[in-house]
Amino acid sequence: MRSPLVVFTMILMAITVPMVAAQKVELSIDASKTGAKIDRNIFGQFAEHLGHGIYEGIWVGPDSKIPNTRGIRNDVVGALKAIKVPNVRWPGGCFADEYHWRKSIGPQRSVTLNPNWGGVTEANTFGTHEFMDFIDQIGAEAYISVNVGSGTPQEAAEWLEYMTAAAPTTLVKERATNGHPAPYKVALLGIGNESWDCGGNMTPDYYVSQMKIYSRFVRNFNPAQQDKEQMLKIAVGPGGDGPRWTDWTETVMKAYQQHTWSWDINGLSMHNYTVVHWPPSYTSVGFGETEYSQILKSTLEMEGLISKHSAIMDKYDPDKKVALIVDEWGGWYAPFPGSNPGFLVQQNSLRDAILAALNLNIFARHADRVRGANIAQMINVLQAMIITDKEKMVLTPTYYVFKMYVPFQDATFVPVTFDAGWYTHGAVAIPRLDAIAAKDANGRLWLEITNLDPNEPVEIEAALAGITAKSASGETLTAPKVDSVNTFDAASTVTPKPISAKVQGGKLTLKLEPKSVTVVSVEQ
Q: Is 125 helix (H, G, I), strand (E, B) or coil?
A: coil
- How many CB atoms neighbour CB 349 within 10 A? 30
Residue 404 CB, nearest approach to ligand AHR (Å): 24
Query: Residue 301 catalytic?
Result: no
Residue 335 CB, nearest approach to ligand AHR (Å): 12
Sequence-separated (6 or more) residues with CB below 8 Å from residue 188: 41, 87, 89, 141, 142, 143, 144, 231, 232, 234, 267, 325, 372
Please tell me whether residue 335 binds ligand AHR under the rule CB under 6 A. Answer: no
In angstroms, what CA-CA distances link 417 with 161, 225, 402?
A: 49, 40, 24
Query: Residue 130 catalytic?
Result: no
37: β partners: 412
Binding residue (CB under 6 A) for ligand AHR from 31, 44, 48, 55: 48
| Segment interacting with ligand AHR (CB under 6 A) among 87-95, 124-132, 419-427, 466-474 | 87-95
Sequence-separated (6 or more) residues with CB below 8 Å from residue 456: 20, 22, 23, 423, 432, 514
Residue nearest to ligand AHR (CB): 93
Please tell me whether residue 280 binds ligand AHR under the rule CB under 6 A. Answer: no
Nearest to ligand AHR of 196, 418 (CB atom): 196
Half-sphere CA count of 28, side-chain side, radius 13 A: 4
Whether the Cβ atoms of residue 366 and residue 306 lie closer than 8 Å to each other: yes
Determine the size of the site formed for ligand AHR (CB under 6 A).
10
189, containing H or E segment: strand 188-191
| CA–CA gap between residue 388 and residue 493 (Å, rounded) | 17
Please tell me whether residue 328 binds ligand AHR under the rule CB under 6 A. Answer: yes
Residue 488 CB, nearest approach to ligand AHR (Å): 24
89: β partners: 46, 143
| CA–CA gap between residue 411 and residue 40 (Å, rounded) | 8
| Segment interacting with ligand AHR (CB under 6 A) among 90-98, 151-159, 221-229, 440-448 | 90-98
- Residue of 130, 141, 161, 194 with catalytic role: 194
Rg (CA), the chain: 24
**Contact mark string toward ligand AHR, 376..415, x via CB under 6 A:** xx----x---------------------------------
Residue 303 CB, nearest approach to ligand AHR (Å): 21
Nearest to ligand AHR of 204, 280 (CB atom): 280
Please tell me whether residue 362 binds ligand AHR under the rule CB under 6 A. Answer: no
**Contact mark string toward ligand AHR, 176..195, x via CB under 6 A:** -----------------xx-
Whether the Cβ atoms of residue 144 and residue 102 lie closer than 8 Å to each other: no
| CA–CA gap between residue 213 and residue 191 (Å, rounded) | 10
**Sign of the alpha-carbon torsion through 138, 144, 147, 152:** positive
Residue 77 CB, nearest approach to ligand AHR (Å): 22
Nearest to ligand AHR of 92, 496 (CB atom): 92
Please tell me whether residue 93 binds ligand AHR under the rule CB under 6 A. Answer: yes
**Sign of the alpha-carbon torsion through 302, 305, 311, 313:** negative
**Contact mark string toward ligand AHR, 119..158, x via CB under 6 A:** ----------------------------------------
Give the total residue count for the chain: 524
Contact residues: ligand AHR, CB under 6 A: 48, 92-94, 193-194, 328, 376-377, 382
